[in-house]
């Protein structure tokens, strides 16, 4: 049987930033790789890299399911690998009509559906729950989780089974792309928050912590690097972002493409997320680059940081604790540098992208054997 892999991903930018090593690794092992993704038709680089692209609609549940269904008939993959909960749900439903294909789902965090606040996500969970079980919990599906909290929750709720679940922490980090670099010796060190602009990522917490530290006269710059995420239900609009920044000295850099350079210029990474994370790739990148991290004691985030060794874990939605941790580390440069080196060692040992690719390819081989 020919080895054909179809990756289903939410956006072409996400493929290049997060899943290119997996696709290239699969090619190296003899897989014919296709990508079903929004933006495929406008990206000539897919063909250049010898991938076949299939366009997915931007939105519309029925449209996306139908599009994946048609793509399965055209590409005829032996393995469909859907990434993110949303696309595991939609592609999983489409795959139920194709009994030939084996299915792998990577649940890179449980996102808005399980971490969103208020009545709306509760209603969505009640409505979507039976269909989500239909998409995920069948004998041809294998699930990859990025943190143990998510895996335990989904098994407990009946969306997954232990025997068809694997823990692979994160999408990995390329240590050549994000090398260990010395801390800058700036009079005003930079505290950086790399993030998508989504409320639950803790943007407001970061801004409030910066205000607290400004009132304490801490000599530091605070920067947020990230573009708008209009398709997320909890997205922060540009006008909301401007309003949140009003009265603060926090710099909003917008979307940055050269992330390695950004980490090199920063002295400390602060990421006060309470989102349904898998393992945030920005934390793995920061650790690889040798930067200490202040983040939350929250599923996914705590996977990337060893408290007191590579950074600090603080409670969610607690700007004061966040500010205290940032101040403590900035005022101890030697400790900051030691944490950065320890973070790099952690990234090299536990999160190297080659290991993630190898373990994922092993799952493909096992389920098609």
Q: What is the pLDDT of residue 97?
A: 87
Choose the weakest-confidence range: 26-40, 108-122, 131-145, 210-224.
108-122
The predicted structure's pLDDT at residue 59? 86
pLDDT score for 7 = 98
Position 121 pLDDT exceeds 70: no
**Cβ-count burial of 351 within 10 angstroms (0-12 exposed, 13-18 middle, 19+ buried)?**
buried
16: which 2 tokens?
Answer: 């290049």
Confidence of residue 92 (pLDDT cuts 50, 70, 90): very high
pLDDT of residue 129: 80
Percent of the chain with pLDDT over 90: 83
Give the helix/strand (H/E) hosting 265: helix 259-265
Q: What are phi and psi of 96, to 5 degrees?
A: -65, -20
Average pLDDT over residues 19-26: 97
Residue ranges of domains in the chain, CATH in brackets: 4-172+352-368 (3.40.50.2000), 190-350 (3.40.50.2000)
pLDDT, mean of residues 65-87: 96
Tokens of 62: 């029925």
Angstrom distance (rounded) from CA 277 to CA 301: 7
pLDDT in tens, 203-258: 999 999 999 999 999 999 999 999 988 878 889 999 999 999 999 999 999 999 99
Average pLDDT of the residues of the chain: 93
What is the pLDDT at residue 113?
66
Instruction: Report the C-alpha gap between 24 and 359 in whole angstroms.
Output: 14
Q: Given the structure tokens 């991938």, which residue do they identify?
A: 51
CA distances from 51 to 64, 87, 364, 365 (A): 20, 20, 18, 20
Report which secondary-structure segment, H or E, holds 312: strand 311-314
pLDDT given for residue 233 in this prediction: 81
Residue range 296-344, pLDDT digits in tens: 999 999 999 999 999 999 999 999 999 999 999 999 999 999 999 999 9
Full DSSP string of 55-120: E--SS-HHHHHHHHHHHHHHH--SEEEEESHHHHHHHHHHHTT-TT-EEEEEE---HHHHH--SHH
Higher-scoring residue by pLDDT: 62, 10: 62
Phi-psi region for residue 184, left (φ > 0), alpha (ψ -120 to 50) or beta? beta
- For residue 170, the SS3 value is coil
State the pLDDT at residue 234: 85
- Give me the residues paired with residue 314 across strands: 296
C-alpha distances in Å from residue 10, one per residue of 37, 127, 225, 358: 6, 22, 21, 23
Confidence (pLDDT) at 109: 84
Place of tokens 């530290």: 213
The pLDDT, as a whole number, for residue 1 is 55
Q: Which two tokens stand for residue 190?
A: 């930079």
> What is the structure's pLDDT at 332?
96
- Give the model confidence (pLDDT) of 150-202 as tens digits: 999 899 988 999 999 999 999 999 999 999 999 999 889 999 999 999 999 99
Asked if residue 285 lies in contact with residue 262, where contact means CB atoms within 8 angstroms, the answer is no
Q: Count the neighbouring beta carbons within 10 Å of the beta carbon of residue 113.
A: 18
- What's the rounded Cα separation, in Å, for the pair 364 and 229? 31
In this model, does residue 116 exceed pLDDT 70? no
Nearest Cα neighbor of 310 from 276, 289, 336 is 336
pLDDT band for position 89 (cuts 50, 70, 90): very high
User: Once rounded to an integer, what is the mean pLDDT over residues 140-147?
Assistant: 95
Report pLDDT for 103: 97
Q: Of the candidates 60, 82, 74, 72, which has an alpha carbon nearest to the alpha carbon of residue 8? A: 82
The residue with greater pLDDT, 135 or 34, is 34
| Burial per residue of 319-332, b for 16 or more beta-carbon CB atoms within 10 angstroms, e otherwise | bebbbbbbbebbee
Q: Which pLDDT value is given to residue 124?
A: 73
Can you tell me the distance from the alpha carbon of 283 to that of 292, in angstroms, rounded to the nearest whole number?
A: 9
Total residues belonging to the chain: 369
Q: Which of 32-41, 129-138, 164-173, 314-323 has the lowest mean pLDDT?
A: 129-138
């Amino acid at each position: 049987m020919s080895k054909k892999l179809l990756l289903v991903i939410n956006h072409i930018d996400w493929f290049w930033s997060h899943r290119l090593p997996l696709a290239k690794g699969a090619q190296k092992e003899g897989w014919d790789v296709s990508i079903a993704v929004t933006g495929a038709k406008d990206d000539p680089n897919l063909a250049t890299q010898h991938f076949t692209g299939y366009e997915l609609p931007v939105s519309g549940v029925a449209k996306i399911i139908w599009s994946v269904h048609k793509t399965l008939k055209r590409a005829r993959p032996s393995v469909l690998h859907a990434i993110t909960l949303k696309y595991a749900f939609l592609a999983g439903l489409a795959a139920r009509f194709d009994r030939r294909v084996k299915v792998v789902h990577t649940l890179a965090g449980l996102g808005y559906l399980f971490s969103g606040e208020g009545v709306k996500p509760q209603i969505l969970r009640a409505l979507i729950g039976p269909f989500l079980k239909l998409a995920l919990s069948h004998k041809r599906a294998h699930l990859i989780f990025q943190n143990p909290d998510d895996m335990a929750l989904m098994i407990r709720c009946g969306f997954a089974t232990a025997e068809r679940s694997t823990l692979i922490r994160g999408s990995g980090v390329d240590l050549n792309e994000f090398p260990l670099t010395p801390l800058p010796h700036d009079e005003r060190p930079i505290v950086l928050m790399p993030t998508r602009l989504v409320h639950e990522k803790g943007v407001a917490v970061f801004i409030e912590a910066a205000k607290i530290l400004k009132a304490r006269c801490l000599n530091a710059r605070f920067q947020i690097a990230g573009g708008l995420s209009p398709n997320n239900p909890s997205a922060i609009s540009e006008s909301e972002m401007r309003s949140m920044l009003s009265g603060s000295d926090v710099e909003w850099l917008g979307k940055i493409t050269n992330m390695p350079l950004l980490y090199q210029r920063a002295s400390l990474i602060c990421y006060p997320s309470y989102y349904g994370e898998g393992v945030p790739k920005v934390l793995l990148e920061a650790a690889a680059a040798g930067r200490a991290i202040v983040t939350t004691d929250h599923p996914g985030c705590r996977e990337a940081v060893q408290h007191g060794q590579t950074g600090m874990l603080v409670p969610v939605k607690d700007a004061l604790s966040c500010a205290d941790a940032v101040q403590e580390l900035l005022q101890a440069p030697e400790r900051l540098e030691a944490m950065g080196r320890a973070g790099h060692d952690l990234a090299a040992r536990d999160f190297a992208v080659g290991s993630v690719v190898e373990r994922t390819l092993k799952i493909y081989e096992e389920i098609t054997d």
